[in-house]
Structure 1
Amino acid sequence: MKSLHYFMILFLMIGISNAQELTIIGTVTDKDTGDPIPGVNIVVMGTSKGTNTDFDGHYTINANVNDALEFSYIGYIKEKITIEEGNSVIDVKMMEDTATLEEVVVLGYGAEKRSYSTGNRTISKAKRRRKNRRSKKTNKLSGSIAGVQVNRSSGIANGNSSVIIRGASSVSSSSQPLYIIDGTPVDQKDIALVQNMDPNKISSINVLKDKSATSLYGSKAKHGCIVITTHKGNYKINSNESYEEIVENNFEKVITSPLSTFSIDVDKAAYSNVRRMINNGQQIPADAVKIEEMINYFDYDYKQPTGDHPFAIHTEHGTTPWNQDTQLVKIGLKGKEIPRDQIPASNLVFLLDVSGSMNSPNKLPLLKRAFKLLVNQLREKDKVSIVVYAGAAGMVLKPTSGAHKDEINQALYNLEAGGSTAGGAGIQLAYKIAQENFIKNGNNRVILATDGDFNVGMSSDKDMKTLIKEKRKSGVFLTCLGFGMGNYKDSKLETLADKGNGNHAYIDTMQEAQRVLGKEFGGTLYTIAKDVKIQVEFNPSKVQAYRLIGYENRLLNDEDFVDDTKDAGELGSGHTVTALYEVIPVGVQSKFVNKIPDLKYTNTKINENYGEELLTVKFRYKKPQGSKSIELVHVLNMNKKQVSKDFNFAASVAWFGMKIRKSKYLMNDNINDIISLAKENKSSDSQGYRAEFVRLMNSHQAL
């Protein structure tokens, strides 16, 4: 009996040993370059546990001894590593996958209507039967075609399916297979949209390789071909994204236009949106590239303000890297960082789009995880309400203290997508609730999260602009967070944020959510200065012409600078704003400066009394609850100081943006020169954002 007792103890000890849980940490890098790889997917095989690497390639995950970790990332060969006892640090070096064909995932999502009037969900038996029929129909594809597998995604609203075609994708356009849908080749720029296809519409899929592909479809199919046939036989791949047209700023002659006036822009959505397109191998629409938002995505080493004003001013100038005949001027603002515990009590209304268009993993499921980051930072004195809209709008969470995080997170977790998009009604209700719970001298804000696809009630940019201008009079600020792809309405969200005293970000990953709602929580949600305007006057004895790089949608009339009724941009806690001017010095011959006739009635005599002054820059702003503007003046003198690494890095970002836009002002568009400038000036990069920018440029070069 005693021996049996010892045996049982030994058995239990072995079981405990086998189930020993470890916290595994490590770094994932490129085997050839040694660079960290952000966004690598890491899962404990056979479980639902998973995580991603951060921007430095670091990860942390809990797993048991003898569990296997799988590391996967598009364009790299998967790595599988078994956890051994005592080994809690696992660094992984991943190799690029040079195989011609890899894998494509075609996602399809059904839309199912929900009722949100009371926050409760009702699903009829008929709907459940339809749902089951969809499941059976979709699964017919699995196994019927070699290399095709249909998986049901867990944790995604409505139990969506994905069709996985083995041997059908590549990170580089140089080895991209040709896609044919119902006899029509899919353009390179639209390949990422294949993932939005509904599997229920697919009748058959054929994967052709080698000569069988080229004999039918020519040299374009030299890397293979994926032939998809739908039941109706007339499927169209359409990108329904929209961007406001941008007309690049021209050079202005100082003698006739000495003033340049614009509103600040702290939005950063364009950079993360462009990043998403590069990572998906898409062609980037020129109007999606807002150079000022790309520049402002990055932090710069600007000193904190020390006086009474809520921001500090920094200026410098040097040679333009893409044109040796011109000079580049950098103007930077640094907002005062308000400690989180000193931010006034917040009255937040989450306005969440739960319409059918949000029914994909990078929309509502990502949104819910992102907002959990925000909720976890709330204090007891903060309160949150949740309004959702689909075919109609409704409140699903009454104002709730930040002390009740579980209740708020549960309300988020319960949300599912379905129906049309009554965005106007949602905005009306959200502002109504914000006003009813208004905190005097507090932080009152509506946070809108959507793909911007409004199609019920007010839906045009003009209608939304009128509505939001009226609502901003309430003293409630607005934050717009964009999600998703395929039907993303950047123009609409930018309009809402611009006219609603707010800011705009695009969230494509949890890393970006962590940046916007975690690292930059204060800047995203707390305004320290509103209606911030900049006016630059150039000295005509030093500068013959100038052009503002970016900010095309933020230009103001010169007289608007002193008009306190004119709306402008808001500056959040800790935010930085950077603007670049390209200037043509006096005496330099340039094809960008056209001769104008002599003026008969205007005296254009230049005042030579300002010595080495290059320009004078003026700033106007209002306090968050104020109505009268305050002015600051700063003079930039000519000097021969060496420019900072921040100057050069910001220049590299502008240079890359101009290249994507095919700017007529680029005298050198060599991508290797741009990459070199960025690489040499990464400077302090604790979060890895600058290294990621270099990687993105290398990826774009390969497309």
Structure 2
Amino acid sequence: MKKYLFLLLLSCLVVIQASAQLHSLTGTVQDKQTHAPIAGAVVSLKKGGQALTHSDKKGRFTLQVPDGPLTLQVIAPNYETATIQIKAGLSSVVVNMTPVSFVSPKPIIQAEDRTLSEVMVTGYGQANAAAPAGDMVRNAAPPYAAKRRMVISRSPRPSTEDYSPINENDFHAVTDQPLSTFSIDVDRAAYSNVRRFLNQGSLPPQDAVRVEEMINYFDYNYKAPAGKDLVAIYTDMAVCPWNTDHQLVRIALKAKQVDAGKLPASNLVFLIDVSGSMDEENKLPLVKRAFSALVQQLRPQDRVAVVVYAGAAGVVLPSTPGSEKKKILEAMESLQAGGSTAGGEGIKLAYKIALENRTAKSNNRVILATDGDFNVGASSDGELQRIIEKERQEGIFLSVLGFGMGNYKDNKLELLADKGNGNYAYIDNFEEARRTFVTEFGGTLFTVAKDVKLQVEFNPAFVQSYRLVGYENRLLANEDFNNDKKDAGDMGVGHTVTALYEIVSSKDKTGKPVNWVDPLKYQQTTVVGSRPEVLTVKLRYKQPDADKSQLMEQVLPYNNQEVTAAPEDFRMATAVAAFGQLLRNSAYKGNISYDTILQLASGAKGDDTEGYRAEFIQLVKKARLLNKDEE
């Protein structure tokens, strides 16, 4: 026993001694040529520790380091990485960094990803020294050597876009599973991504079509909640258009509207991927335009920092008041693309800055803009998820904006936004950026209700079976509904959420019971209350700064109406759901056709101030032309 006590005391002494051997190393990071201070440089130990910090606006930093000789690594955007040997006992250092562009000159022919499939000789003659280098290939011969123009057919890069598989929800018998529980979803990335494919003349991959995100792309005119409630619930039902023997139930939510002047100050960190894969017109240039639209909405009390990551992460702009729009825009405009993608390090640094500038009542959010192609550092889904879940507990939310094509990683970006209590949008054009950051500024950045969950209980007297349309990756265990520690979706200012259930009546048109399995011996069917209740919807949500949820309930009475007689918004949501199921070639698409979808959508256009419903109709027409199986 004494031996074990001795070992324990010895271990404690070793730990105490190790911690006592740390000392402060201060330093300044500056431009080697101009000696101007470099803000936001990442300073860390290359070996022998986990110490990490970044320089302030005067280029200064302080790092806790162990005694003895050290190797210091300093990384800053637009500068070569500096590696410095520190002698034992040294307490201060000056780091001179050499400027370098993010973008290296592109070779005439990139052999690693281009294939020469055709070379054509178009003429001969005296070599012209003034001709562009990319226009010819010269032999190692005297000046009279022939000039040969090359026509190069480049094979397109194979697509490496990645989507998580979707296993569609099945029908469930109410006698076996009377409860359906899921987390709400206000993301709309799938719709704009599908639009991108259709506008380019191709059908989207089936797993790119998340039906709930298609439905929730559109604005619906639901009435805002009254009184102290932060969310309102609405329910109705109609005959299902893709299977008229079934019915369709709509559950609609509307978050509270808040006057822009009453919104809390925002503490934002723009986290921007400037790696080589972002060096395309629809990526980094579009990112700049998107964030410029957001900057115009900022108020003097708001603050913005800009963090970038490529081979490493760094701060381009420290946290800056929203009144200094010119300074913020200049920082954005200076960005260039090049290098590998250390996304995990960028996320850590962005959260660190957000935490440093957080106040008691601020709206704290990191906004990540990327194609999702992480390949250096923390890049696995599990590792990134753990980072984000930890920071979420500190009240810092993560919104994700996806850009580009070809190497787009939808599955990774959707996961990050879900775990970060934020939105996920795909920006395929500037109009989508304008909608995200201008038209729906409050809904995008300000959370009204968090951890919003729905639980639906079906009455077996009226419902034999049901299936939830979409929301496959949002399903929850029934026990999770009352568990306030279970994370769920969030609703921003004025957000709407729509969910559809396809239900099979407990009786057919002749009034006879419908059963897919033999009746169970020990089950009893009861009708609750005097009204013919089809189902009861329960809703739980938390206020943004609360840990305890609030409960709401809404009952749906039976109503056998044709879908053409249903409200305009119901018909529009139904048309979009049917379109999503056709694009997915769903096993549950029934006998729906593009023509029927067009009729539903055309009759549900309404005012359509922004033209989104009219655009949907055009997308349906494009899909009809592209679908070879459609008559």
Alignment TM class, shorter chain as reference: 0.7 to 0.9
Q: 2:79: which partner in 1?
A: 115
Residues 203 and 606 (structure 1 numbering): CA distance in 2 closer, same or farther, change over 3 Å? farther
Matched letter for residue 650 of structure 1:
A
Report if the CA contact (8 A) 1:541-1:608 is conserved. Answer: no
CA contact (8 A) 2:79 2:101 kept: no
Q: 1:625 and 2:545 equivalent?
A: yes
Give, as a single letter, the amino acid of the residue that structure 1 aligns with 2:523: N
Other structure's SS at 2:524 match: coil
Change (3 A) 1:391 1:589: farther
State the structure with bigger RCO (CA 8 A, min sep 6), 1 or 2: 2
Query: Where in structure 2 are there 5+ consecutive unaligned residues?
Result: 1-76, 82-94, 123-133, 135-148, 627-631
* CA apart distance, 1:465: 1.5
1:562 maps onto 2:485 in alignment: no
Q: 1:434 aligns to what SS in structure 2?
A: helix
Change over 3 Å in CA distance of 1:145–1:634 after alignment to 2: farther
The match for 1:497 among 417, 421, 425 is: 417
Structure 2 counterpart of 1:334: 254
Q: What is the aligned counterpart of 1:346 among 245, 251, 266?
A: 266
CA 658–487 in structure 1, closer or farther in 2 if over 3 Å, else same: same
Equivalent residues in 2 for 1:238-637, closer than 5 Å:
238-588=158-508, 595-599=516-520, 602-607=522-527, 609-637=529-557
1:121 & 1:273 partners in 2: Cα distance?
40
Aligned partner letter, 1:440: A
Answering whether residue 609 of structure 2 is matched by residue 686 of structure 1, we say: yes
Q: Answer whether contact 1:363 1:484 (CA < 8 A) is retained.
A: yes
* Matches of 1:274 and 1:309, distance apart in 2: 35
Q: Deviation digits for residues 269-318 of structure 1, max 9, x if unmatched?
A: 00000000000112311110000000000011101111211122121110
In structure 2, the partner of 1:647 is: 570
Q: TM-score, normalised by structure 1?
A: 0.68
Q: Which amino acid in the other structure matches residue 300 of structure 1?
A: Y
The answer to whether residue 623 in structure 2 is matched with residue 700 in structure 1 is yes
Cα deviations across residues 627-659 of structure 1 (Å, max 9, x unaligned)?
000000111111356410111111000000000
1:204 matched residue in structure 2: 151
Q: 1:307 to 1:124 in 2, by over 3 A?
A: closer
Using the aligned pairs only, state the percent identity: 53
CA distance 1:595–1:423, change in 2 (3 Å): same
Matching residue of 2:600: 677
Q: What secondary structure does 1:620 align onto?
A: strand
What is the CA RMSD across the aligned residues, in angstroms?
Answer: 2.8
Q: C-alpha distance in 1, partners of 2:121/2:399?
A: 47
Q: Distance in 1 between matches of 2:211 and 2:500?
A: 10
* CA distance, structure 1, for counterparts of residue 399 and residue 435 of structure 2: 15
How far off its partner does 1:507 sit? 0.3
Q: CA deviation at 1:594?
A: 6.8
Q: Does the CA contact (< 8 Å) of 1:379 and 1:403 recur in 2?
A: yes
CA distance in 2, matches of 1:492, 1:576: 25
Residue 114 of structure 1 contacts residue 417 of structure 1 at CA under 8 Å; is this kept in 2? no
Size of the aligned set, in residue pairs, is: 502
The SS at the match of 2:411 is helix
Q: Are the equivalent residues in 1 in contact too, given 2:276–2:339 (CA < 8 A)?
A: yes
What amino acid is aligned across from residue 596 of structure 1 in structure 2? Answer: V
Q: Deviations over 1:387-440 (max 9, x none)?
A: 100010011101100000000000000000000001110110000111111121
Larger radius of gyration: 2
1: distance between equivalents of 2:352 and 2:80? 18
- In structure 2, distance between residues paired with 1:675 and 1:653: 10
CA contact (8 A) 2:366 2:396 kept: yes
1:116–1:388 contact (8 Å) kept in structure 2: no
The 1:637/1:443 distance shift into structure 2, 3 A limit, reads same
Q: Which amino acid aligns with 1:622?
A: K
**Superposition deviation, residue 669 in structure 1:** 3.1
Whether the 8 Å CA contact 2:464–2:515 is kept in 1: the answer is: no
Question: In the aligned structure 2, how far is the partner of 1:282 from the partner of 1:391?
Answer: 34
Distance 1:480 1:683 in 2: 31
Counterparts in 2 of 1:331 and 1:270: CA distance versus 1, 3 Å: same
CA distance in 1, matches of 2:484, 2:603: 43
Superposition map of 1:6-21 within 5 A: none
- What displacement does 1:603 show? 3.0
Which residue of structure 2 aligns with residue 662 of structure 1? 585
SS of 1:204's partner is: coil
Q: 1:582, CA displacement in angstroms?
A: 0.6
SS at match of 2:544: coil
1:603-640 deviations in Å (ceiling 9; x for gaps): 33434645311110000000001000000011111135
Contact 1:116 1:394 in 2 (8 A): no
Q: 1:501-557 CA deviation, whole Å, 9 max, x = no partner?
A: 111000000000000011011101000010000000011101111110000000000
Gaps of 5+ in 1: 1-112, 147-160, 162-201, 206-227
Give the Cα–Cα distance (whole angstroms) in 2 for the partners of residues 307 and 313 of structure 1: 14
Closer, same or farther: CA 144–446 of 1 in aligned 2, 3 Å: same
